[in-house]
Amino acid sequence: MLHTTIRRHLPVWLSVLAGFVIWEIAGRSTSAAFMVPFSETLLRLWQLTVQGEFLPELLDSAELFATGFSLALIVGAPLGLLFARVRVLRVGVEPYIMILYATPMVALIPFILSLMGFGFAPKVLVVFLFTVFPVLYNTVEGARSIKPELIEVAKSYRSSEWALWREVMLPYTLPYMMTGVRQAIGRALIGMIAAEFFLSATGVGRLIMESTQEFDTAGVFAAIFVIGVIGVGLTRIGLMIEQHFARWRQ
Tens place of pLDDT for every residue, the chain, 250 residues?
Answer: 556 666 666 777 888 888 888 888 888 887 777 788 888 989 999 998 898 888 888 999 999 999 999 999 999 888 888 887 777 887 788 788 788 878 888 888 888 888 887 888 889 999 999 999 888 888 888 777 777 777 777 767 676 777 777 777 777 788 888 888 888 998 999 989 988 888 877 888 888 888 888 888 888 899 999 998 998 888 888 888 777 766 655 5
pTM of the model: 0.84
Would you say 126 and 105 are in contact if contact means Cβ atoms under 8 Å apart? yes
The domain made up of 52-249 has a fold known as MetI-like fold (1.10.3720)
Q: Distance between CA 61 and CA 14 in Å, rounded?
A: 31
Would you say 188 and 127 are in contact if contact means Cβ atoms under 8 Å apart? yes
